[in-house]
Structure 1
Amino acid sequence: MTSPLDLSLITGPIPVVATVAGAVALLSLAVRKDRAWRTRVLPIVVAACAVLVAGVTFVVDHVWKPWPEPLPPVLAVWAGAALVAACLAVARLRAGRWYWRILGVLAALVVLASAGTAANAHFGLYPTSRAVLDVFANNRVGLDEAARPPSSVVEVPAGGKLAGVWRKPAGLPDKGTVSETAIPGAFKARPAWIYLPPAYAAASRPRLPVLVLLAGQPGAPRDWFDAGRLAGRMDAFAREHDGLAPIVVAADQLGARMANPLCLDSKLGQSETYLARDVPEWIKRRLTVDGRREAWTIAGLSQGGTCALQLAVRAPDVYGNFIDLTGQREPSLGSRAETVKAAFGGDEAAFTRVNPMHILARQRFPQTAGVIVAGRDDRNYGPAAAEVFQACRTAGMDVQWKELPGGHDWTVWRTGLYDSLPWLATRTGLSS
């Protein structure tokens, strides 16, 4: 039988039950026989909360603008519902018997939980309750312990593939390791999260391909391990390939959860230099990796997908492959004018020199391969992904197009990355 912890939090009965429970709990808070409650307290609370949520939404979308796209309406609706529930529960504390006060607080908590479930379902963030609980589990090991020097290295003949010479040794662990460590460089980045596959634990270690993975904005490197469920999915891939899987380095291209330096070298920071020079040099110095560009892949979701495309055209000698998971058409802080002003002081020419779409229009990349993923219901980024795909094809790239069910959410990002692993394994020499 399926464990309750493995039931979907994104589709199926749980989101439906949570929505119904939230509506019932909110209604129970709103209904009272007291005439003053119906004519004064309830209308004032609802109106005040509506104005507050509308004001916050306006400030976020039009003043602060921490990300290019506006807040999804479903979040504003549920935020308003949770705020109304909290205010009504507080108002109920001033009158009534003690057990009604307790029930009021519990009802407000139900509405809050329903709002959280709705937000999670909208973004596809945590697929199951087990995924939520795993956020609190600390299964990381120190990199010094996980990446001890090997006794020897499995070398692949020129033109050969690792799968052709690798033989799984006895006693190889079933799971890889997860570590967190700082990667110094020109950009003030947060610590990277690193996955080393089971094969890395072999005394005679293979030189493994590298996947540099980027989260979206707002986001952090560990997002791929929490919402992305990366360690478990890579372990499953390794079990099917005699312990082989790419080394995954979830690096930080943002500097802070809400920041967006656009993966460029600009007034906003040296994010491009960090990803094109500092991170690869550190990986090659610290880990046993295949140094060929064909064995290196840059991938990311949303803003990280835009960044992956940027690095593919700005550092093609480092990254031979890329995976763009619902990225933007170009680096953006909302509009072209706002982006150019913030990053380059209004110098449009400086922006076009580094904008991937302009580069693809004037340069060819026949040795670069990629996958571009779009969500079928992603109205903001889906058309942009189609434009990027055509531009890459025109520039001579070997690119694949994947359109998946879903929107701009983790259901698309998880599937898009993990369904690309067989292609990636073939491309990097991990399998034949």
Structure 2
Amino acid sequence: MGLTSKTVLFLAVSVMVALFALAVWLWPRLSRQGWRATVQRAGLVLAGQLALLAVGGLTANNTFLFFTSWTDLASIFQRSQEDQPTGRAAAGLKVRGHQSVNVPGGSVPEKGGRIDQVDVHGAGSKISSSAFVYLPPEYFQPEFKNTTFPTSIVLTGYPGTAEALIKGLRYPQTAWKLARQKKAQPMILIMLRPSVTGQWDTECMNVPGGPQAASFFAHDLPKEMRSHYRIGRQRENLGIIGNSTGGFCALKLAMEYPQVFSAAGSLSGYFKPAKDLSTGDLYKGDKRLEQRSNLLWRQQHVPAPPTSFLVTTSKQGEGNYQDTLRFIQQTKSPSRVSSIILDRGGHNFNTWRREIPGTLAWISSRLQSPKP
């Protein structure tokens, strides 16, 4: 039984209800004095609380898809060898499978497009990561057989799964709908996690002596994708989007690599890199590197790139509201900035689903469609 299956949630709820009923039934017997009765009462209460936490955790995970398998969940408690680049895998891209898009006519690629599940192995970074690639219907239509397409990398938050971009945030479905409505051009979407080294949150940076995550996203990933798919080869053809940690990464990568990305959208992203147990020491004592990772500092001390940025926040319910306003105010030419500011929102899927249609339409208008 999978972690996100309804059966697992049903079993957890059943156990919780059974423990509650058992506590009501046995409590009079356990109300007597003595250490044994005390231990039994404490054990019964603890078991009930754990069952309640399990139900709450499973419900939240099924809603937001933080983890999609038991293996994925277990990996957060350990730093496996996958957290470090090994260099064992040969550079390149391998397609592991295909799936249809959940739209009308989605079973036919010429009508609904297709989602490929791929493994990408970076030659420069020595990082390997899985990803999903949404190909629009036009990609399979005869009249577009020699056409390359504008493309956007799409990143989840942390922790998160690439599947959440499909099942929870519905990026492919939204891109398909916008193209049908002529609100966006047909685009390829490359969907993956920002934590490409297991559960280590590198904040998409090149860690001194460690994973070269920035190099993977800015060099290896575009290179390997272009070698397999008909993706435009100019910076004007490539953008990047993300939510939360992915939003920070999108802005950071676009600011650091303007020769690679021409547009970046950040949904509820922050502007100063996280520093906690999930990140560890990313800077190895390099204060200059830590400073340059602060996007607000970078705006004031590094020449502005010729890049378009989109930032989103909410006046109530978001913790990034003031920093977002500051980022907007500090943006200098030749950079350009747009914003989506909701009256009320939150750091959650419901808010991001409201912002994604506008974000995809925005980045579509900033990316050029290459010539055949």
**TM-score over 0.5 for the pair:** yes
SS, match of residue 183 in structure 1: strand
Which residue does 2:138 correspond to in 1? Answer: 199
Per-residue deviation, residues 120-155 of structure 1 (Å, max 9, x unmatched): 59xx527xxxxxxxxxxxxxxx85998xxxxxxxxx
Q: 1:44 is aligned with what amino acid?
A: A
Which residue does 1:283 correspond to in 2? Answer: 225
Work out whether 1:381 is the aligned partner of 2:320.
yes
Tell me how large the CA RMSD over aligned residues is: 3.6
Work out whether 1:398 is the aligned partner of 2:330.
no
Which residue does 1:409 correspond to in 2? Answer: 348
Q: How far apart are residue 84 of structure 1 and its match?
A: 5.1
Pair 1:172–1:34, CA change in 2 (3 A): closer
**Contact kept? 2:110, 2:137, Cα under 8 Å:** yes
Work out whether 1:228 is the aligned partner of 2:182.
no
SS, match of residue 357 in structure 1: helix
**Contact kept? 1:330, 1:356, Cα under 8 Å:** yes
Q: How far apart are residue 321 of structure 1 and its match?
A: 0.4
Per-residue deviation, residues 31-55 of structure 1 (Å, max 9, x unmatched): 2265223464774136646xxxxxx
**Contact kept? 1:209, 1:246, Cα under 8 Å:** yes
Pair 1:399–1:261, CA change in 2 (3 A): same
- Distance, in Å, in 1 between the alignment partners of 2:140 and 2:184 is 9
Per-residue deviation, residues 161-191 of structure 1 (Å, max 9, x unmatched): xxxxxxxxxx982201011112221142321
SS, match of residue 121 in structure 2: coil
Work out whether 1:422 is the aligned partner of 2:361.
yes
- Distance, in Å, in 1 between the alignment partners of 2:287 and 2:360 is 38
Larger radius of gyration: 1
**Contact kept? 1:198, 1:243, Cα under 8 Å:** no
Work out whether 1:37 is the aligned partner of 2:30.
yes
SS, match of residue 419 in structure 1: helix
Which residue does 2:216 correspond to in 1? Answer: 274
Work out whether 1:357 is the aligned partner of 2:299.
no
**Contact kept? 1:196, 1:247, Cα under 8 Å:** yes
2:112 to 175, 178, 189: 175
Q: Which stretch has the larger CA shift, 325-334 or 347-356?
A: 347-356
Which residue does 2:4 correspond to in 1? Answer: none
Pair 1:363–1:114, CA change in 2 (3 A): closer
**Contact kept? 1:220, 1:257, Cα under 8 Å:** no
- Distance, in Å, in 1 between the alignment partners of 2:362 and 2:194 is 25
Q: 2:241 is aligned with what amino acid?
A: A
- Distance, in Å, in 1 between the alignment partners of 2:326 and 2:196 is 29
- Distance, in Å, in 2 between the alignment partners of 1:242 and 1:361 is 35
Pair 1:395–1:357, CA change in 2 (3 A): farther
Q: How far apart are residue 349 of structure 1 and its match?
A: 1.6
Q: How far apart are residue 395 of structure 1 and its match?
A: 5.8
Q: How far apart are residue 273 of structure 1 and its match?
A: 0.7
SS, match of residue 224 in structure 2: helix
Per-residue deviation, residues 348-382 of structure 1 (Å, max 9, x unmatched): 12322444333211234363112111245444334
Looking at secondary structure, tell me which structure has more helix per residue: 1
Pair 1:38–1:320, CA change in 2 (3 A): farther
Which residue does 1:105 correspond to in 2? Answer: none
- Distance, in Å, in 1 between the alignment partners of 2:345 and 2:222 is 33
**Contact kept? 1:313, 1:360, Cα under 8 Å:** no
Looking at secondary structure, tell me which structure has more strand per residue: 2
Per-residue deviation, residues 302-335 of structure 1 (Å, max 9, x unmatched): 1111110111110011101001111222222239
Work out whether 1:371 is the aligned partner of 2:310.
yes
Within-5 A mapping of 1:145-224? 173-185=110-122, 186-205=125-144, 206-224=147-165
SS, match of residue 249 in structure 1: strand
Which residue does 2:179 correspond to in 1? Answer: 238
**Contact kept? 2:184, 2:360, Cα under 8 Å:** no
**TM-score in terms of structure 1 length:** 0.62
Which residue does 2:74 correspond to in 1? Answer: none
Q: How far apart are residue 114 of structure 1 and its match?
A: 5.9
- Distance, in Å, in 1 between the alignment partners of 2:177 and 2:274 is 36
Name structure 2 gaps, 5 residues minimum. Answer: 1-12, 66-93, 99-107
Q: 2:300 is aligned with what amino acid?
A: A
Name structure 1 gaps, 5 residues minimum. Answer: 1-19, 50-79, 86-110, 127-141, 147-170
**Contact kept? 2:172, 2:189, Cα under 8 Å:** no
Q: How far apart are residue 401 of structure 1 and its match?
A: 1.8
Q: 2:261 is aligned with what amino acid?
A: Y
Q: 1:290 is aligned with what amino acid?
A: G
Q: Which stretch has the larger CA shift, 364-373 or 319-328?
A: 364-373
Q: How far apart are residue 295 of structure 1 and its match?
A: 2.5
Per-residue deviation, residues 201-251 of structure 1 (Å, max 9, x unmatched): 022323211111111111232321222222322222232239952100114
**TM-score in terms of structure 2 length:** 0.71
Pair 1:125–1:23, CA change in 2 (3 A): same
